[in-house]
Amino acid sequence: MTSVLRFADLEYFLSGNFELDLEKDQPILVDPLWKGTVFENHLRKFPLPVLDSKKSFCLVTSGSTGLPKMVWKEWSEIEAEISFWTTDENVQSLYTIAKTEGMFVSVPLCHLYGLLWGYLIPKRLKIPTKQNIPKDKANLWITSAPQLQKAFESGNPLPQNAVVSGMKFPVPLARTFRDRGGISVLEIYGSTETGAIGYRDALRQNRFQILPDLELKFIAIEGTEETELQMKSPFLSPKSFLLEEEGWILQELPQNEYYATNDIGNWSERGWYLLGRKDRIIKHKGKRVSLDRVESEILGLSLPGEFVCVPISDNFGDTMGMLSSTNLSPKEIESRLLREMPESHVPKQILTNKPIPRLPNGKPDHLRIRELFSS
């Protein structure tokens, strides 16, 4: 069996090629949007790593550096998560609602969330899928917070039920949907490496309910009341390949060790309150603030343009800067944010009317954005 690079578009899955690859080869699934970019050059620079287990495959992700990482997924991990969700009463009822008219899917199937929720789970439950954005009111839509925001702003009908993942659901948008009524949003918390960790009703709960069969450990963060979440899980993928100067290097979590999620928050009997990623939390105006959460809250305000927050320094120490492609002035942005958000979530410096520097994978280049503030 050999490893094969697959730019896994919709047709790749719908034609059955994914299942064929699993039987005779070991596919490495890449987002088709990365074809022809510097990202593809990274993938082809060295021989592909070889997987030594049947029906295993890799999902390619990338971090803040823009360099690729291949997460090695064993089929047993995938099967364990499919089995959990397809026997969960809430999920069964969610998909049963869509059994007659089908469900809509508008997220890439080459990423774990889309692969599970938009392809493998409905396939197991024999639910017909429509791989597009619904134009009329739908029973179930597998989507994302930004897509729901866009549908709402465009005046398009919202679904009766939506499943989202990938970013913490914006508080202002949750408030709007809750007041409006007629929609429920299930948010899945996890990552490519961990699989699902928890879930919540995004419109009514601010804490994630952690899935059963996960072992948790909380590491105290010195000087704060927060902790870092570490875990063991039947869905966890302990092996991955990182690209280094000499090629693809296997990294493997020792069997009895906990996996460090790098997520910071606090735990109580009511669940896990996620503050944000460890490397995206700063102290701002006396409060510890997640830059990802600030971006999420701004998304929910329906302001024009894209907004990216970064840590910067001034004469008084670390603070928050925000770069935006909006045509609004910094004063207009600041005024709106002060009305809608806690003062600690309002950036100290705001640059507008600027293109967003990006990494080869399309993500914002935080390092170059920080340099804009220093210049």
pLDDT tens profile 219-231 = 998 888 899 999 9
Q: What is the pTM of this model?
A: 0.91
What is the tens place of the pLDDT at every residue in 45-71?
899 999 888 899 999 998 656 678 999
Q: Which domains does the chain have, with CATH numbers?
A: 77-278 (3.40.50.12780), 303-374 (3.30.300.30)
Q: What percent of the chain has pLDDT over 90?
A: 71
Backbone angles phi, psi at 152, to 5 degrees: -65, -45
Residue 316, pLDDT score: 62
Say yes or no to pLDDT of 145 above 80: yes
For 152, the 3-state DSSP assignment is: helix
Q: Over the stretch 187-214, which tens digit does the pLDDT of each residue have?
A: 999 999 999 999 999 999 999 999 999 9
Give the Cβ contact number of residue 31 at 10 Å.
Answer: 20
Supply the DSSP string of 295-315, one letter for each residue.
Answer: HHHHHTTT-SS-EEEEEEEET
- Determine the pLDDT at residue 90: 86
Question: What angle (nearest 5°) sits at the alpha carbon of residue 155, between those of residues 178 and 127?
Answer: 75
Element at 195 (helix H, strand E)? strand 195-201
Whole-number pLDDT of residue 28: 97
Percent of the chain with pLDDT over 70: 97
Read off the pLDDT band of 358 (50, 70, 90).
confident
Segment among 21-25, 65-69, 129-133, 264-268 with least mean pLDDT = 65-69
Q: CB–CB of 221/281 below 8 Å?
A: no
